[in-house]
Amino acid sequence: MISQSLSDLWHGFGVALLPANLLWSFVGVLIGNLIGVLPGMGALSAISMLLPLTYTMAPIPAILMLAGIFYGSQYGGAIGAILLNLPCHPPHAVTCLDGYPLTQQGKGGTALGITMISSFFAASVGIVVMILASPLLVRIAFQFGPAEIFSIMLLGLLAGATMSRGSPLKGIAMTAIGLLLGVVGTDVSTGTQRFTLGITALDDGVELVALALGLFGVAEFLRSVNRMQAVGGSATMRLRDMRPSLAELRQSFWPMVRGTAIGTLFGAMPGTGPTITTFLAYALERKIARDPSRFGRGAIEGVAAPEAASHSKTQVDFIPTMSLGIPGDAVMALILGALLIQGIQPGPQLITEHADLFWGLIASFWIGNVLLMVLNVPLIGLWVKLLQVPYRYLYPSALFFIAVGVYSTNHNLAQVWEVLAFGVVGAIFAALDFPAAPILLGFVLGPLVEENFRRALLLSRGDLTVFVERPISAGFVAASGLLIAAQLFFWLRAGQSRRRDRISGVVLPATAPIADE
């Protein structure tokens, strides 16, 4: 089975190295890196802005480019986090904790070098895991009927809603809103117009690009207008600064390995976001460190572990997305949406039916990561300059790209209204501390969830026990139950300790539980 995988992978390298595919992969990595570096822009806005471009491309280059944008922007985000203390992308918030103190000590270059090495290492491990795990998963996945698909999606949605940072109830509410947005449009089996509010433009449903750009582009601008501090730091970076010493390498080797392990573990679990992964990796390092007080003051381990975790998670995340159609987070949901638009149905048959796409993608990950390394060595100086682009240039141009991007999707101006509407709605939700990412997850999965729910109950003649009678499905349902039980437990325990604190008169500052460990 492994030899089959290896020969498929060999074929994949052939696909990924075709000049056209290689070019798109390179373009994706370059643009992703560029957008990721810019303050206030993360993988989500990068991918949703460029999604319309891929509609006219063939499926393979389109997916290769989107994947390239994804890991390119992730890497770019780390640069802003380390050099300027700007967490452009939530998972990098942890990297700031120790990355920026390192910059202040004049060792920002070393931190970037370590970041580069650990992301490359972690991505390579993630790719190996993908190669080993995919054939196994395919065998299991072939036993999946509608009931199993519904239960695993339920688990993924619940995990996405409750395991991100913030209130789990709010996450659940946002997931339901996303599912509801997925319902909008013409019902496939009866032709009924649902929730179109009499607007003809909504007959075909809500446009994915408009939703994503509204929630993560316009809403973000509405929130950050005039609140982005201009960055005056004039950090210069030379190639020589980026080479870590042998001692620093040795110091960050095990954190790198542990971070990779955490990322791999969480990547395989559908619905767990990247932020929680990086926070866990950081917390673990601090817990086992001989001198935990070094953390937060420029410990190189505090950069290596979370960066490794986020990159290995990125790679492994593609397994549930491609083979089961369950995206791990909002970015994966966008990539899943792109696959669906290209007419490719993710699922166990994807690996066998679209072998060139799947293995080509895996091969391109590795090639893309090599490209990233090669690209960042000479361009690091340019990225540092880009970080200082004034916000007043940046954001009108981003707004322009959003408007034109959405319009060009279908040459439909009505969808630009959609962007504006979702932007305002997203800003209101954000102001009330609701997370936006579960909306996208729910939206992409919504139609699939409904279809499989209906089909499963049609097959079982309306018998709801079908979801617990089949062993695989029962496992997912049990896991969902456990997840809810665990949340209830934590909530009750937090309530108890709050009450205790009130009695003893101690007022604790409200902090995120994970970041505080």
The verdict on 365 binding other proteins (CB under 8 A) reads no
The verdict on 392 binding other proteins (CB under 8 A) reads yes
Q: Which of 218, 231, 448, 477 binds other proteins (CB under 8 A)?
A: 218
The least CB distance from residue 68 to other proteins, in Å, is: 20
As a whole number of angstroms, the distance between CA 379 and CA 406 comes to 30
Q: Which of 238, 240, 290, 411 binds other proteins (CB under 8 A)?
A: 411
Give the contact letters, 138-167, x = binds to other proteins (CB under 8 A), - = no.
-----------------------------x
From 5-13, 29-37, 121-129, 387-395, span contacting other proteins (CB under 8 A):
387-395
Compare residues 23 and 458 and give the one whose CB is closer to other proteins.
458
As a whole number of angstroms, the distance between CA 101 and CA 85 comes to 9
The verdict on 417 binding other proteins (CB under 8 A) reads yes
For other proteins, the binding residues in 223-252 under the rule CB under 8 A are 225-227, 230
H or E element that contains 21: helix 19-37
The least CB distance from residue 59 to other proteins, in Å, is: 21
The least CB distance from residue 303 to other proteins, in Å, is: 28
As a whole number of angstroms, the distance between CA 84 and CA 187 comes to 49
Compare residues 143 and 496 and give the one whose CB is closer to other proteins.
496
Compare residues 52 and 368 and give the one whose CB is closer to other proteins.
52
Q: Which of 142, 187, 297, 486 binds other proteins (CB under 8 A)?
A: 187
The least CB distance from residue 396 to other proteins, in Å, is: 4
As a whole number of angstroms, the distance between CA 495 and CA 401 comes to 46
The least CB distance from residue 319 to other proteins, in Å, is: 28
DSSP letters, 170-239, are HHHHHHHHHHHHHH-EE-TTT--EES-TT-GGGTT---HHHHHHIIIIIHHHHHHTTTSPPP-------G
The verdict on 434 binding other proteins (CB under 8 A) reads yes
The least CB distance from residue 458 to other proteins, in Å, is: 7
Nearest of 98, 117, 85, 130 to residue 328 by alpha carbon: 130
The verdict on 489 binding other proteins (CB under 8 A) reads no
Percent of the chain that is helix, strand, coil (3-state, to 5):
75, 0, 25
The least CB distance from residue 404 to other proteins, in Å, is: 6
As a whole number of angstroms, the distance between CA 73 and CA 33 comes to 4
The verdict on 497 binding other proteins (CB under 8 A) reads no
As a whole number of angstroms, the distance between CA 81 and CA 76 comes to 9
Q: Please tell me the count of residues contacting other proteins according to CB under 8 A.
A: 61
For other proteins, the binding residues in 278-307 under the rule CB under 8 A are none
CA angle 315-368-350, nearest 5°?
A: 50
Compare residues 233 and 396 and give the one whose CB is closer to other proteins.
396
Q: Is residue 237 within 8 Å of residue 108, measured between CB atoms? A: yes
Residue 125 to residues 6, 98, 332, 376, Cα–Cα distance (Å): 15, 24, 19, 21
Question: What are the tokens at 451?
Answer: 């279809």
The least CB distance from residue 184 to other proteins, in Å, is: 9
From 70-78, 107-115, 180-188, 200-208, span contacting other proteins (CB under 8 A):
180-188
The verdict on 93 binding other proteins (CB under 8 A) reads no
CA angle 215-216-221, nearest 5°?
A: 100
CA atoms within 13 A on the CB side of 347: 16
Nearest of 296, 383, 314 to residue 109 by alpha carbon: 383
Q: Residue 156: CB partners within 8 Å, gap ≥ 6? A: 270, 271, 320, 326, 327, 328, 441, 445
Residues lying near other proteins in the complex (CB under 8 A) are found at 167, 169-170, 172-173, 176-177, 179-180, 183, 187, 189-190, 192, 194-195, 218, 221-222, 225-227, 230, 390, 392-393, 395-397, 399-404, 407-408, 411, 413, 416-417, 419-420, 423-424, 428, 432-434, 450, 453-454, 457-458, 461-462, 464, 491, 495, 499, 510
